[in-house]
Structure 1
């Protein structure tokens, strides 16, 4: 009986330490990548504002060729939604909605993931002219890990996980735009 009590006390202490540590860990993540594309900013912006076009260069959209895609609203306008459904775990089920457009400069969107886990994030794509025929494109995603799940953030390395996919997606975009 004493052994069981000691085991319980140790388990309670471990859980308490984890919960206390999680309280002090960051809860938010922000990942951003950028690339320079040899095309004018207006033509790059006109391309990336459409959700159907984003599915052409996004790494996640290209993981599952059998993924079911549906669109609601007028693509390229605030309120338009691209939904996806895949049996592939890395893709899952979710949707992206355009929430704000700063004409010629930036598109903001909401990401709602339903499977494999229920989560939300926000993202953006921006275009800035840096020379007559060059455009800097930034792509970012921000989210929150609720307490106490945020204890996993240092182990997950969100910047590395999501960042490599943003880098590859931007490389795909550059390749498509510079053809």
Structure 2
């Protein structure tokens, strides 16, 4: 057997094993992170409900500063859409689908490129004291087989990105 044959068999074995493992990994995922910000709930909520503010704290949005962004509607209201196209960011849109003032904003994200998928995001604000607010950022979705294998591996990375973004948010709001 040649070295090339051994490498091809090894590579094929790895791919088959990964596809087999993906059969047993859940297709639904949920990621959630929280932080406490030393500002009143209304101050925090009024900032996070505006999708355009994500360019200051969201690691994902900041990843591609040269992307083209198109807004439709009034930011911070149900139905507002923000679409993007960029070399690093790919293509997609996010839409505000629900708002409970000073409590929760829900957003649907539709990814087009590099792959089609839909995710649901929420930012919840909960007053802890008169001058501090717990912010919880959650993301859920469904990844079809075999992409569910990648999602399982990415949950840690996505969670770390959420933590980083929430820390940026805290720094901005506590200035």
The TM tier, using the shorter chain, reads 0.7 to 0.9
Q: How far apart, in 1, do the equivalents of 2:35 and 2:126 lie?
A: 11
Which of 136, 141, 164 is matched with 1:138 structurally?
136
Q: How far off is 1:45 after superposition?
A: 0.4
**CA–CA distance in structure 2, aligned partners of residues 32 and 132 of structure 1:** 24
Normalised TM-score (structure 2): 0.85
2: CA distance, partners of 1:132 / 1:54: 25
Shift, 1:153, TM fit:
4.0
Corresponding pairs, count: 163
Instruction: Give the structure with higher Rg (CA).
Output: 1
Root-mean-square deviation (CA, aligned residues, Å) is 2.0
Worse overlay, 54-63 or 123-132: 54-63
Tell me the distance in 2 between the aligned counterparts of 1:75 and 1:86.
21
Task: Give the Cα–Cα distance (whole angstroms) in 2 for the partners of residues 18 and 48 of structure 1.
Answer: 39
- Segments of 5+ residues of structure 2 without an aligned counterpart are 1-11
Question: What is the aligned counterpart of 1:164 among 130, 138, 160?
Answer: 160
CA distance change for structure 1 residues 37 and 94 in 2, over 3 Å: closer, same or farther?
same
Which residues of structure 1 form unaligned runs of 5+? 1-10
d(CA) in 2 for partners of 1:171, 1:43:
16
Distance 2:128 2:68 in 1: 37
**How far does residue 49 in structure 1 lie from its aligned partner after superposition?**
0.4
Specify the alignment match of 1:6 in structure 2. none
Structure 1 length as normaliser, TM-score?
0.83
